[in-house]
Structure 1
Amino acid sequence: MAPAISYQLLITYSILAFVIYILALVIYRLTFHPLAKFPGPKIAAVTLWYEFYYDAMKQGTYLWRIQELHEQYGPIVRISPNALHVNDPDFYEVYSGKVGEKRDKYPWALPHFNTPQGMVATAEHNHHRLRRGAVAQFFSKANIRRLDYVLKYNIKKFLGRLQEFEENGEPVNILEAFKALTSDILTTFAFGQSHNALDIPDFNKPFWDLFQELSHTYAICNHFPLFLPFMTSLPAWLQQVMGMEMVMVWEKKSRKQLQSMIDNRKLDEKDSRTIFGDLLDSNLPPAEKSIDRMWHDGQVFNIAGSETTSWALGNCTYYLLTNPEMLKRLQEELKTVIPDGSVDDIASSELEALPYLTAVIKESLRLSFGVAGRLYRISPDKTQVLRDGAKEWVIPAGTPVGMSNPLVSLHPKVFPSPATFDPSRWLDNPQLDRYLVAFSKGPRGCVGLNLAWAELYFTVAAVFARYGGEERTMRLWKTNVEDVQAVHDFFVPAPRLDSKGVRVVLSG
């Protein structure tokens, strides 16, 4: 009987040790942890399961629960055992960092990208700066302007597709059309060859539907970081059975294009200037130029860039079509520079000089948010101070601090009537630009913002110089405001789950 007693004692002691460990961990997190002094619900301070409940079980709604917590506790809240969240627009520049300041990312919040070698998922500041520096020149405003012809070519194809729907009278999901447009522009810039989503009758809808489904795993991946690596390591036949075939085809095509670019350089034959061409010609070490690493960057550039810009364009379309006075004012301004309705011969600088067009785009960016996910930043070597009236909160160096674009963009202190689409708020009000955070700011801000701005200027101008007037109409079809309002945070903003997108009918 002795071995049995020993076994029972071992089980008992193991359970007891586990209970003691959990109790000690709870006491530490509530009492001795560096963040113990910060306000917030005790359960969030004790366990990540509180966050998991809202983001996974309640489908990406922790963002709005955090908003409620700020209303209860103030501008700074402890939202998980090791992280804080701030909802004070004036703190954004401190949080994001200025030139010369270091900002790391929170490694815990990166697995959902499933691109561990990509620039966006690079946690350490200096390593990120190295990777960003290799492509920063390509994304410079001057270079994007030199490549205006790529945007104009794809926008012309896009308008051609819209004309097909105009002629047959069928409704078009213009949000999906915008995704195809931005994807074709990005793949041309990245690989030198478009993936030609605009040529596909449904704008490659199954691919984007699959991405939407995968984005729902955003929160799960942070809590279970091996989930996506496990899924992508499954045999190809099993991934096909699970409906992942389109992602596999896209990856295979992208890797083939990257290999071709590498081979051309071995033969001293360079392609036209591209994102990855610049990377391959940079001084990065060979390991930074592997196909795996570049594929990780390409994945983020295409998906994130297409989703965010197309969502902004979808918002813009909806709000202009539901505000005819605003649309008329925009069209009158556009006629001053493109009286024939074509952007073929106009420079982006001329569009950027139009105040109302710029205001419409800024307001569309404000209400589309860029991304909805909590963007964590870590100041590794300096404390940060948040002033809340007479009280000062000193945030220890090395602390993950999150801020959320939707909460900044909808903050009534900065934006009165925040849910209202009102481009005029941006006119003659340059100080408001500091609160436009759709592209984030600081050393971790979006590297592709100049490209996104150019896409927005040319696309909005081209679409609404042609449609929405008396001769060629564009009207919403079975679409309401809920189709452009973010309800879920799947890192990218998402409307209600049964939304069919922004659908319009064209006629001329």
Structure 2
Amino acid sequence: MFKMSSFVATVTLFGLLLYIPLLAYYRLYLHPIAKFPGPKLAAFTRYYEAYYDVFRGGQYTFKIAEMHRKYGPIIRISPHELHISDPAFYKQLYSHNARWDKYDWAVEAFGAPTATLHTVDFYQHKRRRAALNPFFSKANVIHKYHVIETMVNKFCHRLRTQPKGTVINLGNAISALTRDIATEILIGGSFNHLDVEDFHADLATLQQNAGEVWRTTKHIRWFGLLTQSIPRSIIDKFGDKGLKNFLSYLDAMANITANILSQTESVDANIPLVKGDTAHTIVHQILASDLPPSEKTLDHLAHEVITLTSAGMETTAYSLRVTIYHLFKNPNILGRLREELASSNIELSDAEIGSTGLAALEALPYLNAVLMEGLRLGTVVASRLQRVAPDRDLQYGQWRIPAGTPVGMTPLLMHQDETLFPEPKVFRPERWLNGDGDLVRIDQGFEPFSRGTRICLGMHLAWAELYTVIAKLLWCFDLSLDDVGPLDVEAASDKFVTATARQNGFKALVNPRI
């Protein structure tokens, strides 16, 4: 027995000693993307990326930027994947006119493979996306705009009724606002986090906690399944607060989905969504679609609800915090924007402005410039977004990219490109205006919502929130930021969503203006 065990161990060791150099030789010299520049260690093993993701706390995005400075605009960042840093190529990689799959290795780490946002196959995604598009259309956002404005007025009321001289965590309040809007619109009811004394501060980093799990699961595939399989009693006793909040959120969304499904006896697919049915949720939208029954199971619906609600929460909140920070750090910009709002004659007190008021805000050039600059500096996704062309080679300059190769670009890095945006860390709305003060859109390099067939579903909802919150907040209040600086707003870590270096809140003394 001992001799047999020794023999097996010897053969195993010999196999490994033979396999590793052969694998290294293949990946470095024979692999279809072996010719592309980049670090040899990254070309040999994904553990190079894992080191920056797991042990360096989400620094691979910034390491990729460093690699581009050394190796050029197209680099190999893993044994199987390329990354491009060239804004002119973005429209080609994220286009409408061809089949683009997602990279299964990256999206499967989210643990929700049936959700539209994480669907790998182009054609399956197209079917699922078609079922959701009416719900997130501009028409339906306008139809539901009263929800946004009611929540924003509630937010303003909370700020107005704080005891005089009270410093509040404005960052937590903004997160509570975006959570309440997202859940009210998508599932027909909010958790009323705006009513909680501390705005449910322990949920403000919910998406970042999920990002921590994703970042680890990418490299340790069983980690996510292990986390979900651990009895809740053990997690409640030994788990950290972030993990508890994340799993509680998953449970709550699954339970809400199950309740909506159980109460839905029949859905008439012929009834247009924008007809005035305020109880129409994203669950109803999917059930009323022409998707097959296999796409309407509880598991699938829960995955959709979880991903869609979470996508509409902290993402918008981060862009709002960045914009607010720079507005109140730059009195001249703040003053100019207030002058534009005053000349527009839009009623921005606690009264309802309605869809007409929203349209008027959308037409203001300087407000648009401020919001675009806020989206540029407040890019919500810190990770690369890979695309795969399974049926054709791609051409980038002199480089032929073999079919099936995952290729990614990173808007966070593109938005900091100093050739496109001189002094990229400076908040300068004027870069979006011409000499006459009219809005101009930079043709390339600005992609806060991505583009192509996978463009952000919630783009119209996010814009409506941005216009309303920024306009009403700066019109109704003066803010004195309390120990808030670049560490609270600048991108410092990739947790798929952008994470900042400091997580102690975004505090301010709030004084009503009107």
TM over 0.5: yes
Once the two structures are TM-superposed, the CA of residue 395 in structure 1 deviates from its matched residue by: 1.0
Give the whole-Å Cα distance in 2 for the aligned partners of 1:492 and 1:147.
26
Once the two structures are TM-superposed, the CA of residue 344 in structure 1 deviates from its matched residue by: 1.4
Q: Aligned residue for 1:416? A: 422
Equivalent position to 1:203, from 199, 203, 224: 199
Q: Aligned residue for 1:85? A: 83
Once the two structures are TM-superposed, the CA of residue 418 in structure 1 deviates from its matched residue by: 0.9
- SS of the aligned residue for 2:173 comes to helix
One-letter amino acid of the counterpart of residue 456, structure 2: C
Equivalent position to 1:232, from 224, 228, 234: 228
Give the whole-Å Cα distance in 2 for the aligned partners of 1:156 and 1:25.
60
Q: Aligned residue for 1:505? A: 509
Give the whole-Å Cα distance in 2 for the aligned partners of 1:31 and 1:146.
57
TM-score, length of structure 1 as denominator length: 0.93
Give the whole-Å Cα distance in 2 for the aligned partners of 1:100 and 1:227.
37
Q: Is the 8 A contact 1:111 1:225 kept in 2?
A: no
Q: Aligned residue for 2:387? A: 377
Equivalent position to 2:450, from 427, 434, 440: 440
User: 1:345-494 residue pairs with structure 2 within 5 A?
Assistant: 345-346=353-354, 347=356, 348-387=358-397, 392-428=398-434, 430-467=440-477, 473-494=478-499
Once the two structures are TM-superposed, the CA of residue 416 in structure 1 deviates from its matched residue by: 1.2
Q: Is the 8 A contact 2:450 2:456 kept in 1?
A: yes
Are 2:337 and 1:333 equivalent residues in the alignment? Answer: no
Instruction: Label 1:249 to 1:71 Cα distance change in 2 as closer, same or farther (>3 A).
Output: closer
Q: Is the 8 A contact 2:492 2:500 kept in 1?
A: yes
Once the two structures are TM-superposed, the CA of residue 152 in structure 1 deviates from its matched residue by: 0.6
Instruction: Label 1:246 to 1:29 Cα distance change in 2 as closer, same or farther (>3 A).
Output: closer
Which digits, 9 at most, give the CA deviation of each residue in 1:268-322, with x for residues without a partner? 6986232222111111111211222122122222222211100000000100011
- SS of the aligned residue for 1:336 comes to helix
Once the two structures are TM-superposed, the CA of residue 252 in structure 1 deviates from its matched residue by: 3.9
Q: Is the 8 A contact 2:257 2:305 kept in 1?
A: no
Once the two structures are TM-superposed, the CA of residue 340 in structure 1 deviates from its matched residue by: 4.3
Once the two structures are TM-superposed, the CA of residue 49 in structure 1 deviates from its matched residue by: 0.9
Q: Is the 8 A contact 1:261 1:271 kept in 2?
A: no
Tell me whether 291-300 or 305-314 shows the greater mean CA deviation.
Answer: 291-300
Q: Aligned residue for 2:352? A: 344
Tell me whether 67-76 or 256-265 shows the greater mean CA deviation.
Answer: 256-265
Q: Aligned residue for 1:188? A: 184
Give the whole-Å Cα distance in 1 for the aligned partners of 2:347 and 2:330.
23
Are 2:301 and 1:294 equivalent residues in the alignment? Answer: yes
Q: Aligned residue for 2:13? A: 15
Equivalent position to 2:317, from 293, 310, 318: 310
Instruction: Label 1:105 to 1:246 Cα distance change in 2 as closer, same or farther (>3 A).
Output: same
Which digits, 9 at most, give the CA deviation of each residue in 1:178-217, with x for residues without a partner? 1111111110111111121111111111123455344333
Q: Aligned residue for 1:151? A: 148
Q: Is the 8 A contact 2:484 2:507 kept in 1?
A: yes
Are 2:76 and 1:69 equivalent residues in the alignment? Answer: no
Once the two structures are TM-superposed, the CA of residue 433 in structure 1 deviates from its matched residue by: 4.8
TM-score, length of structure 2 as denominator length: 0.92
Give the whole-Å Cα distance in 1 for the aligned partners of 2:440 and 2:307.
31
Instruction: Label 1:456 to 1:19 Cα distance change in 2 as closer, same or farther (>3 A).
Output: same
Give the whole-Å Cα distance in 2 for the aligned partners of 1:178 and 1:307.
9
Once the two structures are TM-superposed, the CA of residue 161 in structure 1 deviates from its matched residue by: 1.2
- SS of the aligned residue for 1:487 comes to strand
One-letter amino acid of the counterpart of residue 137, structure 1: P
Instruction: Label 1:43 to 1:193 Cα distance change in 2 as closer, same or farther (>3 A).
Output: same
Which digits, 9 at most, give the CA deviation of each residue in 1:482-504, with x for residues without a partner? 211111111111111x4323211
Tell me whether 257-266 or 104-113 shows the greater mean CA deviation.
Answer: 257-266
Q: Aligned residue for 1:470? A: none
